[in-house]
Amino acid sequence: MRPLIALNLKVYPESLGRKGLELVRIAHDVGKETGVRIIVAPQAVDLAASSKIHKDIFAQHVDWNAEGAFTGTTTPEAIKAAGCLGSLVNHSERRIGDEAIGKAVARLRGNGLESMICTKDTPESARLAVFEPTFIAVEPPELIGSGISVSTAKPEVVSGTVQAVAKVNGTPVLCGAGVSNGGDVRKAIELGAAGVLLASAYVKAKDPKNLLAEMAEALL
């Protein structure tokens, strides 16, 4: 599998409305220029507009059990209808428990959508790999938003997770938390990761295009 970059725009003021769509456009341009797969997870209200700009759009969260008389939820079917390719599942800031994770992945798959299960460590990654998501993204919670990359501060989490998941079924493993520059990305790939998942460094960058291009080059 070719390595990839996944960008979670979260709900930062810097990714709100037009600013968020501009971040999607930049990701689209860098992906086109470098040939690197770049998944973007914009704010929920921007999913449909984002998928008109870039085809590789994921939701940040999906509600596996909603249908019909539920309020304020996002279903896999709605994500699909909005033109998206998949969803993050169980992000550290939106943890849902093992049973819900399995059901969310299955319902996404049933709709022909991809899934990226976020995990906090190696044992959780190996345990959740049995649900056969498209990707696993391991992110030590204490490094999220820290600017200190998991690939530098906790390389053993990256390599250990890659090895543990390889023993289960070989689901591609991304790593995230604090990933801030091309060097962090290069290190992640050297440790065996299939790519990186990041948020704040991209969303808050003075020059997001330059940063993303540097990260994409580091993958090649």
Closest separation between CB of residue 102 and ligand G3P, Å?
Answer: 21
Closest separation between CB of residue 167 and ligand G3P, Å?
Answer: 25
The footprint of ligand G3P on residues 99-158 (CB under 6 A) is 139, 144-145
DSSP state of 9: -
The footprint of ligand G3P on residues 43-102 (CB under 6 A) is 91-92
Q: Among candidates 18, 16, 17, 28, which has minimal Cα distance to 7?
A: 28
3-state secondary structure of 43: coil
8 vs 112, beta carbon nearer ligand G3P: 8
Q: How far is the C-alpha of 48 from the C-alpha of 127, rounded, in Å? A: 33
Residue 26 neighbours by CB under 8 Å, 6+ apart: 208, 209, 212
Q: Which of 3, 4, 5, 8 lies at the binding interface for ligand G3P (CB under 6 A)?
A: 8
* Given the residues 54, 61, 91, 124, the one annotated as active site: 91
74 vs 200, beta carbon nearer ligand G3P: 200
* Given the residues 28, 139, 142, 156, the one annotated as active site: 139
> Is 91 noted as a catalytic residue in this protein?
yes
The DSSP result for 176-191, as a single string, is ESS--SHHHHHHHHHT
Closest separation between CB of residue 119 and ligand G3P, Å?
Answer: 11
Q: Among candidates 132, 122, 117, 116, which has minimal Cα distance to 164?
A: 122
Applying CB under 6 A, the site for ligand G3P has a residue count of: 15
> Is 67 noted as a catalytic residue in this protein?
no
Closest separation between CB of residue 218 and ligand G3P, Å?
Answer: 15
74 HSE (CA, 13 A, CB side): 21
The footprint of ligand G3P on residues 159-218 (CB under 6 A) is 176-179, 197-201
130 close to 99: Cβ distance less than 8 angstroms: no
Closest separation between CB of residue 71 and ligand G3P, Å?
Answer: 26
Q: Among candidates 158, 116, 108, 107, which has minimal Cα distance to 134?
A: 116
Q: List contacts with ligand G3P (CB under 6 A).
A: 8, 91-92, 139, 144-145, 176-179, 197-201
**Which residues participate in catalysis according to the annotation?**
91, 139
